[in-house]
Chain A
Amino acid sequence: MTAPLVGFDRVFLGYGKRPVMEDVSFQVPRGDFLGVVGPNGSGKTTIIRAMLGTLTPIAGIVTRDPELRFGYVPQRDHVDSLYPLTVRDVVIMGRYDRIPIGRRPGATDRKAAQVALEQVGIPDLADRPLASLSGGQKQRALIARALVGDPNLLVLDEPTNGMDLVSTTQILGLVRDLHDDRGLTVIMVSHALNEVANYVRRIGLVFGGRLRLGTVAEIINESVLTEVYGLPVEVNSFNGHRVVVARSHQGSTGHV
């Protein structure tokens, strides 16, 4: 049995002395496709930051495989559109850590960037300014930047936030293809349970400062979701797709 890429052992996370997440324990085995889901502000990004090593735990241990290489896709709005950078400029950044200080990216880096752009379906946008792209195109460019470093763990933070239905479906399909075709381990953070539920293998539900982890079937069921959200929740299936609907006490419904 191979060692997991990342492991959390009784980890407490927070900012300053205030814990946001308590007693978090889980592992990310190779080949996993994990969705980390929860309401806005629940602590999803906190878990991911600890995983990436950008947040030091208050207590507990986070272990990482020595060969672990992250491909990180930040939230789109974290990327500043003021910078006059082309898509290729941005994608090549994913290889900067391999280029010694004082050296510029070379032909190999540009070729790798082009290959990554082809993988995400936007090879013709390489010379376009990043700021001129649509939300979906920009997301693809950021995924290409994560891929160009040849990662073994792809981490996406709210990849479909603010996107229309078509772009959302295309981006989630692209991520699923990267997992299925390349065997890439993927962790996807989202506040939209319905989007994630139909793509990932496992779900980590973040609520009340805790993480509840299981297979999609174990988590996406009415008893678990009703307990977590504190509302009556229905899980329906249409053409093999799960649709989670929260029912308020007055009888109105809404997607979770």
Chain B
Amino acid sequence: MFEAVLLFREALYGALVIGVACAVLGVYVVLRRIVFVGAALAQLSSAGIGLALWLAGFGLLGSTHAHTIGTSLVVTLAGALFFGVGGGRRFLHHEATIGVTYSVAAAMGILLVAKAVTGEAHDLFLQGNILGVTRTDTLVLLAVAVPVLLLHLVVAKEFLFVSFDPETAQTLGYRVVRWNLLLYLTIGLVIAFAMQFAGVLLVFNFLVVPAVTGLLVARTYWGVFGCSICAAALAATIGFVISVPLDLPTGPAIVAVSGLLALIAWLVRRVRGE
């Protein structure tokens, strides 16, 4: 069993990096009630992957991983920019805009991949292939996740204030739109890279479920981040360890463990009577 796990240890490291980065950003995603922005950005990222593969079929873009990541990044960050400045709010409810983006991006991702002619196993790009993560991939993920997490550490109180009470923050001189934009761009950046390896289901899970677990058990704001990180790391490790010898799909196994941890957290909260 352990030999099998050791064989795929690079994939586990990659899952841990994605899990921890998404777990931190996910606290804002859940607290700000923008869960479906995370889902929509993940779908935009998949549409970006589809677009890159489709363009490659016409010779308009290279078919390397770098081209795929680059296109996905541009599309995801454009979406983050749109949501960050409150795009579409003038005419539509924010949730309606998110819903339209989510469904159209999901469909575009599938349609573009269906018409791509590069002959690769394209579905893997959309569904993710966490077991295929190599050491180089993990280093790429670290190169994105570490600066993002450091930035979040530095501007933690600013992100807290503009998320918790943007109106009051604005009266104290905070440029709320710019702070929101920065937050959304970091979320978009991490999603765009994580999507290349983990797929929509796993990325969305890491963005939401560990943070929910943290909110259920932690008693302090900073404790939520700690619990969310622990929940993500635990889910990634346990899900990975049980999926390899049991020949289960790794992504869904990690998601199932995440859900189980959230259930335990809910029970703990019930027992504590809060």
Most chain B CB inside 10 Å of its own CB: which residue of A97, A99, A149, A155:
A97
B165 and A78 form a contact (CB under 8 A)? yes
A99 and B223 form a contact (CB under 8 A)? no
Q: Which of B5-13, B57-65, B151-159 contacts A (4 or more CB under 8 A)?
A: B151-159
Check B136 for interface membership: any CB of A closer than 8 A. no
Distance A212 CA – B219 CA, assembled complex (angstroms): 48
Check B164 for interface membership: any CB of A closer than 8 A. yes
B218 and A93 form a contact (CB under 8 A)? no
B224 and A84 form a contact (CB under 8 A)? yes
B158 and A83 form a contact (CB under 8 A)? no
Check A96 for interface membership: any CB of B closer than 8 A. yes
> Interface SS of chain B: helix, strand, loop or mixed?
helix
Check A182 for interface membership: any CB of B closer than 8 A. no
Check A33 for interface membership: any CB of B closer than 8 A. no
A93 and B168 form a contact (CB under 8 A)? yes
Interface 0/1 of A92-124, CB less than 8 Å to B: 011011010110110000000000000000000
Query: How many of A's residues come within 8 Å of B, CB to CB?
Result: 30
Given contacts A86-B220, A96-B158, A97-B173, contact A74 B165 (CB under 8 A): yes
A93 and B164 form a contact (CB under 8 A)? yes
| Chain B stretch 143-173: residues in CB contact (< 8 A) with chain A | 154-155, 157-158, 160-161, 164-165, 167-173
Category for how many chain B residues contact A: 20 to 34
Taking Cβ atoms with an 8 Å cutoff, the residues of B that contact A are: 31, 33, 90, 154-155, 157-158, 160-161, 164-165, 167-174, 215, 218-221, 223-224
Can you identify 25 A-B contacts, CB atoms within 8 angstroms?
A54-B171, A70-B172, A72-B167, A72-B171, A74-B167, A74-B168, A82-B215, A84-B218, A84-B221, A84-B223, A84-B224, A85-B221, A86-B220, A93-B160, A96-B161, A96-B172, A97-B172, A97-B174, A99-B157, A101-B154, A101-B158, A102-B155, A104-B157, A129-B219, A145-B168
Taking Cβ atoms with an 8 Å cutoff, the residues of A that contact B are: 16, 52-54, 70, 72, 74, 78-80, 82-86, 89-90, 93-94, 96-97, 99, 101-102, 104-105, 129, 145, 149, 155
- Beyond known contacts A80-B164, A84-B219: 14 more, CB 8 A cutoff: A53-B171, A54-B171, A70-B171, A72-B167, A74-B165, A74-B168, A82-B215, A83-B31, A93-B160, A94-B172, A97-B174, A99-B157, A129-B219, A149-B172
